[in-house]
């Protein structure tokens, strides 16, 4: 159990009374009468068994010497279901961002390495991967919503979020949401880089080598998404591990939460600006110009069998 005085220090005798009171059969509501001398404390936060409690001190003057009677009542913080749903949606959004980057890496792996398997390059397979990523993200977020200790109000960051004060849940969530997609993306793009270098050395004039060179630009864009993913997840993971060893200061709670929110926003903006077709349409709408697109003749058989490749094979 952790007792945290939100203002100044208080005599240890009062801490002993609070500890013994909370260890009783009914730890939710207690009223104690103590005599304390000139303390400015009026609110305390207590953490016990993954749950938070508030202690409110009502000071009643007894005499002119400044002695007080403190009526201490504790009650469990009731987190409204709507705030937990908001925290769940935030977790869902961060998970979607992570797994979307992983899906893009898998798509590039299919196009560059497994291009001979035409079934892997169709829109049907890509839509299936997108749907699966959304299902997995919703399962992760909703399973945390079922847990009573996952989404908690953090007094340090002033938000209801996936708390870092429960080490097991926060650490496993970091692994599933951030670390696993990052490792998968790193492995896939490591294979892609090796494949591109091999084709450059073997036969620079072949069609496969030209395709690999054209995909280098897309690889750089996905590398940006991976960096954004790491920037968003690493502060949260570090704060979780450090808080397990020693209590972290309150700014780290807010900073790690801010990094995740900013990474999600920047990641969405990067998707918009790194897509050539989307960027052209956005610029045309922004400058109130009519978008003129030059049509290109496509192989109808290629468009019917392989609907992904024509876009990536444009010169």
For 213-239, how does the pLDDT look when each residue is reduced to its tens digit (9 = 90+)?
Answer: 555 666 676 677 778 877 888 888 888
CB 51 within 8 A of CB 38: no
What order do you get walking across the sheet with 31-37 strand by strand? 2-5, 43-48, 51-61, 67-76, 31-37
Q: Which tokens hold the place of 223?
A: 């590398």
Closest CA to 56 of 32, 73, 76, 38: 73
pLDDT, tens only, 29-63: 333 333 333 444 444 455 444 445 545 544 444 44
Domains of the chain: 2-76 (no CATH), 81-312 (1.20.1070.10)
Q: Which residues of the chain have pLDDT under 70?
A: 1-80, 156-157, 199-219, 221-222, 271, 274-276, 288-315
**What pLDDT score was predicted for residue 275?**
66
Closest CA to 161 of 252, 253, 75, 99: 253
**What pLDDT score was predicted for residue 132?**
93
How many Å separate Cα 93 from the centre of its chain?
Answer: 7
Closest CA to 5 of 53, 56, 41, 58: 41
């Amino acid at each position: 159990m952790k007792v945290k005085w939100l203002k100044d220090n208080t005599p240890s005798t009062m801490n002993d009374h609070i500890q013994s009171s909370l260890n009783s059969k009914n730890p939710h509501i207690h009223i104690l009468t103590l005599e304390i001398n000139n303390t400015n404390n009026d609110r305390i936060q207590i953490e016990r068994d993954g749950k938070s409690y508030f202690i409110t001190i009502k000071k009643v003057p007894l005499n002119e010497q400044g002695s007080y009677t403190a009526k201490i009542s504790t009650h469990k913080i009731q987190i409204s279901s709507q705030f937990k749903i908001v925290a769940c949606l935030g977790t869902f959004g961060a998970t979607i961002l992570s797994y979307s980057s992983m899906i893009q890496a898998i798509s590039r792996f299919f196009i560059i390495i497994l291009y001979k398997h035409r079934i892997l390059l169709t829109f049907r397979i890509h839509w299936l991967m997108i749907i699966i990523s959304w299902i997995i993200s919703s399962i992760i977020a909703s399973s945390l919503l079922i847990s009573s200790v996952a989404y908690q109000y953090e007094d340090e960051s002033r938000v209801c979020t996936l708390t870092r004060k429960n080490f097991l849940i926060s650490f496993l969530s970091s692994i599933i949401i951030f670390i696993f997609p990052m490792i998968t993306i790193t492995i896939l793009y490591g294979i892609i880089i090796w494949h591109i270098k091999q084709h450059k050395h073997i036969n620079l004039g072949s069609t496969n080598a030209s395709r690999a060179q054209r995909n280098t630009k897309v690889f750089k864009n996905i590398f940006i998404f991976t960096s954004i993913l790491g920037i968003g997840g690493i502060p949260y993971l570090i704060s979780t591990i450090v808080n397990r060893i020693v209590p972290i200061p309150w700014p780290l709670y807010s900073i790690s939460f801010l990094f995740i929110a900013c990474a999600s926003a920047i990641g969405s903006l990067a998707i918009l600006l790194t897509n050539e077709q989307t960027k052209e349409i956005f610029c045309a709408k922004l400058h109130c110009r009519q978008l003129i697109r030059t049509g290109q003749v496509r192989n109808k058989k290629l468009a019917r069998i392989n609907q992904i490749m024509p876009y990536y094979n444009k010169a």
